[in-house]
Structure 1
């Protein structure tokens, strides 16, 4: 079910009441309720795919126990590879089978040797990339002896299927989330209030910013031949805020809902559009995925410890795999490659760590230099987002060709003034809260009348500017 749906607004209070008023004294009962509720939440889309989560949970739970009983390097490595093959095997079949088959057929057709291989009508399980990586982190950490394997199957099942972040993250590490299922939770009023505030802000991002931007991004991208360069650039701008509002909004809601049940999830976004270079952007965007690839792929490959050729190779691998993780389309691979090209000059000149603090940390406004750096970084990101949004690589290049011509300096053919004001309001709140962990935390410092005035304003805006309901973008990944 969707976070911004009637079903969820019925589901959440029921689970909350049962959790705190029926099972509060019994840890195992709370964990069982979380596990059952999570399966109901996920099965609302298609109950048939519950078997995938259940099977993955059983396999990785069993492998964790077997790893704890074995000291043989050969056997431990075999067990690890069984987990990797099972999890990535499911992911590969459901997400990439048709992509590889079609690419193979196209390649042989170009060589004059057409193949008779049919694609399959495969339904992509919602969020499979997220929970696959989450359960893999458990097996890998147990293999590396960074985590003691659990003997509590209910707690492990609840960890794998935890409904607030099951289908679109953040991708939690077992070292952070799993131990929280071992500890008796007590209702914390302040934590719950913080959670509700986070949920409210996440819903605003999704309903007001993302869904309204989606309307115009879709119109412009789907009819790019009819618009001037300036309007196409505006379409890319709308998509940039659509995907940010959509995905960071989901993360905010997931983090907020988790707090209602006494859990703390990792931060997933840290004001990425205020970044001064691409390296900083990737430290602030989808943090849970970036750090996952860093720890489980980039560092094992050698990271940046080798020579220049190894640094270049590993950088391209990490970005290409990241792109491919997002979807079975060449557009995502090109998007990953383009970001690698952006990133390489900074890494090769050792400038990829120069912007580690928040921009304008000790001032109200950024300096001219900082402002120009943010503008350049945002523009580069905007160009890359075109490939992410386009239906094909050809579509992306034609869209970019349409931007970069003389019509770039013409008047906008579409310019929804109200939506632009809402985006400016959104940027303003983010800017004021940039020094904290989350933008909405700044509101807590206001006096009560102003604080409640802000909450009422957000609610009014959500009811006034609710766009056409859209699924969260990252559900397809």
Structure 2
């Protein structure tokens, strides 16, 4: 079920009404409702894969209880490995099996032998598997490191694993935040619900008006890159940066807003990353839940930065390569991760990886300095360039795209084959950047204006623009569903 579908807009009010008006005084009944609603939400995509979620839930529930009941470190670690091996095996088979087989065949071919690949399988990638396996693993890790006591309430734990607002594409929540809220009574809070509805509206705007509107141009440019000059290819890269941001941050806003409707606060997943002043700050603001996961469960256990510079650089490379691989079973994502490691390492070695704590422009100024503008534009350019690998179908296409940028540098105004008015989209992207700059202080309050009239005007404009840009012929699924 998609957030931007008619089915969801029927499903959500029904669940909301039952949750607050039928089961308001019964915490266990509310949690059972969340669990059932989550399984319905996911099962409408493909009910067969509900068994994977249930299996992952059962394994990590009992593993955590086993770990907690042991004092000997060796035995505790053995049970932790049960969780890690199980979840990574699940992820590895469904997401990476064919990738490894095909890569092995290609490697053998380099030595002069041609092997016919008869081992590949028609494996369907279960939506959200990269997200919920990491979420359940984090629970086992936290219990192992004694940061969390495991729960004996299986139904509440199952609701934590499958919580439908963030089940398919995050944020990847830790049990210390989400499970603790599920285990405790929630109160009907009018302001929280209104805040949630605003986030849902803003998320839908980013998905429908930014991501979906730009998708046809991006698809055309990346599919037919060999036919276009450098100016058009650069435009396609910029548009894809806006598309993927609108798509994924829009999903996260809807997820966070929907959770608020049920009295639950999820972590922020995007904090205006395109206003970042260097690549390190960008990764503090983009897909925050995944970056946090890798920092806590991979980077720090490897030694983090509390080791020699050489080992710290090694740790950074490992994290970015694994992050790239997490995104998909394609060498393009590994190159994307490697590229980010290469541009992150100089920032780290210069000691500038943690210097920016607040968003661009201080409290007492309105406009950024020329230095800040230059830093933001440079960071956006570097990140956007890396997305050539992220968006391309293959490494060959990615390098072909890059080669054409540098070898066919000429200006030519882009005109979409379907006859789209490109000026409308240029204006749209500029206005979107300006508005995000205005609201940059708080990613969870997109309509935070003191004037009720101004808020009403903004709601009206957003809804009208969504109706204007809505295209029923565009694929309305979210980009990160493939991960």
The alignment's TM-score, normalised by the length of structure 2, stands at 0.96
Residues 383-416 of structure 1, C-alpha deviations (whole Å, 9 max, x = no match): 1000000001110111111212453444445571
Q: State which of 385, 388, 404 in structure 2 corresponds to 1:386.
A: 388
Contact 2:67 2:144 in 1 (8 A): yes
Moved more, 465-474 or 34-43: 465-474
Cα distance in structure 1, aligned partners of 2:75 and 2:405: 56
Cα distance in structure 1, aligned partners of 2:217 and 2:412: 18
For the pair 1:454 / 2:458, whether they are aligned, the reply is: yes
Cα distance in structure 2, aligned partners of 1:408 and 1:25: 67
Cα distance in structure 1, aligned partners of 2:157 and 2:444: 29
Contact 1:430 1:439 in 2 (8 A): no
Which residue does the alignment assign to 1:2? 2
Which residue does the alignment assign to 2:105? 105
Aligned pairs for 1:272-283 within 5 A: 272-283=273-284
Q: State which of 397, 422, 429 in structure 2 corresponds to 1:416.
A: 422
Moved more, 204-213 or 60-69: 60-69
For the pair 1:168 / 2:181, whether they are aligned, the reply is: no
Aligned pairs for 1:313-328 within 5 A: 313-328=314-329
SS of match in other structure, 1:356 = coil
Moved more, 347-356 or 292-301: 347-356
Cα distance in structure 1, aligned partners of 2:412 and 2:448: 44
Contact 1:195 1:259 in 2 (8 A): yes
Residues 109-131 of structure 1, C-alpha deviations (whole Å, 9 max, x = no match): 11123334420000000010000
Which residue does the alignment assign to 1:45? 45
Cα distance in structure 2, aligned partners of 1:470 and 1:341: 34
Aligned pairs for 1:246-325 within 5 A: 246-325=247-326
Which residue does the alignment assign to 2:366? 364
Moved more, 306-315 or 198-207: 306-315
SS of match in other structure, 1:203 = helix
For the pair 1:14 / 2:20, whether they are aligned, the reply is: no
Cα distance in structure 2, aligned partners of 1:113 and 1:282: 42
Cα distance in structure 2, aligned partners of 1:398 and 1:66: 52
Runs of 5+ consecutive residues of structure 2 not aligned to the other structure: none
Which residue does the alignment assign to 1:25? 25
Residues 153-207 of structure 1, C-alpha deviations (whole Å, 9 max, x = no match): 1100000000000000000001111010111111100000000000000000001
How far is the alpha carbon of 1:453 from its aligned partner? 1.3
Aligned pairs for 1:413-452 within 5 A: 413=415, 416-438=422-444, 440=446, 443-452=447-456
Moved more, 131-140 or 114-123: 114-123
Moved more, 202-211 or 301-310: 301-310
SS of match in other structure, 1:460 = helix
How far is the alpha carbon of 1:72 from its aligned partner? 2.0
Contact 1:429 1:439 in 2 (8 A): no
Cα distance in structure 2, aligned partners of 1:408 and 1:22: 64
Moved more, 299-308 or 8-17: 299-308
How far is the alpha carbon of 1:330 from its aligned partner? 0.2
How far is the alpha carbon of 1:70 from its aligned partner? 1.3
Paired residues in the alignment total 475
The alignment's TM-score, normalised by the length of structure 1, stands at 0.98
Which residue does the alignment assign to 1:213? 214
Contact 1:266 1:288 in 2 (8 A): yes
Residues 358-404 of structure 1, C-alpha deviations (whole Å, 9 max, x = no match): 11123211111110111111111111000000001110111111212
Cα distance in structure 2, aligned partners of 1:332 and 1:275: 22
For the pair 1:376 / 2:367, whether they are aligned, the reply is: no
How far is the alpha carbon of 1:438 from its aligned partner? 3.0
Moved more, 144-153 or 346-355: 346-355
